[in-house]
Amino acid sequence: MRNSTRLVGIACMTLASLTAAAPAVYAQSWSPPPRDERCPSKWGAGDERGSANHMGPETVLRATRLIRQGRVIDLGQVLSSDMPLGGTRHFDLYMKPTRMSPESNNRGSNEEIIVAEMGQVGTQFDGFTHQTIGDDLYNCIDQNEVMTRSGFTRLGIENVGTLMTRGVLIDVAALKGVDVLPESYEITVDDLQQALDRQGVAIQPGDAVLVHTGWGTYWDTDGERFSSNGPGIGLPAGQWLVTQDPMLVGADNVPVEVSPNPDPELSTPVHQIMLVINGIHLVERMKLDELAAAGVYEFAFVIQPLKLKGATGSTVAPAAIF
């Protein structure tokens, strides 16, 4: 009897130990703040640029001071008809040979027709008309008043222009000792802070903050998996990044944030936190593997959305220069 009691006691202790060591399972409930708590934007009533207001001569000069080798690393994925798209998004390129000149030098000419959602494919830059809270866009602009069949009359991506600033890479995959973070891994505030401490860098206001999950390695090798549930920043990490006052936040996964959100009642809430509430642009589906492999954590960052009047975003080809 005493042996049986002892075995039961050991079993209970072992179970308690495993339970204590297991990660907590929880759902992060969140509701968008009411209009009077998020509007007007800190950049002023009627503002359309959000954190792009950080852009200025000092921002550019601060970035140039990080260029020492003159090396450039492209951070954009290649656009093609077989790239991961997701949902109903579309991209097709058709060749269009135009003419053979009649002159003696036989000059031929070729062009192409692209049928695509150029605002939301490939490595792409999210504008402020891309997401809403109800009918509210950034700065509580009513989308019903500014949306037309040919584009938005306010907050269009053409307002962004060229952005050049200090870039900071946060390599969470390296922090965890893996090439690729697990599917649906939620990046926490501690993860971001520990990775920054490990790298010996800190975020400064106006930075472009890029998060390396390793998920981008599936872009060319497994497009279906790339487009499925992936690791990314969670709600607390997104809210913490807002307090760092970045110019933009990017990552090498599909939505920057973790997918799906741990709370099944929430749909991509970090998009609302960044774009709608705080006016911080997101850059999705970046190519960060080469930069991470080089161990470069601060650099000059340059990005320029296409001037698509009234569009919700733009395919982009950003670069890190150091």
Question: Residue 2 has what pLDDT?
Answer: 36
Q: Which residue's structure tokens are 């200025």?
A: 56
Tell me the β-bridge partners of 209: 168, 249
Tell me the β-bridge partners of 281: 248
Mean pLDDT, range 149-158, rounded to an integer: 96
pLDDT in tens, 79-105: 999 888 877 888 999 999 988 999 999
Give the domain ranges of the chain. 35-88+118-321
Q: Which residue's structure tokens are 């390599």?
A: 171
CB 132 within 8 Å of CB 170:
no
Say yes or no to pLDDT of 220 above 70: yes
Query: What's the whole-number average pLDDT of the chain?
Result: 91
Mean pLDDT, range 230-258, rounded to an integer: 97
Q: Which residue's structure tokens are 């921002």?
A: 59
Q: Is the dihedral of CA 112, 118, 122, 124 positive or negative?
A: positive
Question: Residue 86 has what pLDDT?
Answer: 77
pLDDT in tens, 279-303: 999 999 999 999 999 999 999 999 9
Say yes or no to pLDDT of 16 above 70: no
Mean pLDDT, range 101-119, rounded to an integer: 92
Question: Residue 18 has what pLDDT?
Answer: 30
Q: Provide the 8-state DSSP code for 152.
A: E
**Domain 35-88+118-321, what architecture?**
3-Layer(bba) Sandwich (3.50)
Question: Residue 26 has what pLDDT?
Answer: 45
Mean pLDDT, range 254-278, rounded to an integer: 96
Question: Residue 22 has what pLDDT?
Answer: 34
- Tell me which of 85 and 165 has the higher pLDDT: 165
pLDDT in tens, 30-45: 999 999 999 999 999 9
Pairing label, strands 186-187, 232-233: parallel
Question: Residue 145 has what pLDDT?
Answer: 98
Query: Reduced to 3 states, what is the DSSP secondary structure of residue 135?
Result: coil
Question: Residue 28 has what pLDDT?
Answer: 54
- pLDDT level of residue 29 (50, 70, 90 thresholds): confident
41/296 Cα distance (integer angstroms): 34
Q: Provide the 8-state DSSP code for 139.
A: G
Write out the two tokens for 126.
């999210």
- pLDDT level of residue 19 (50, 70, 90 thresholds): very low
Say yes or no to pLDDT of 62 above 60: yes
232/225 Cα distance (integer angstroms): 15
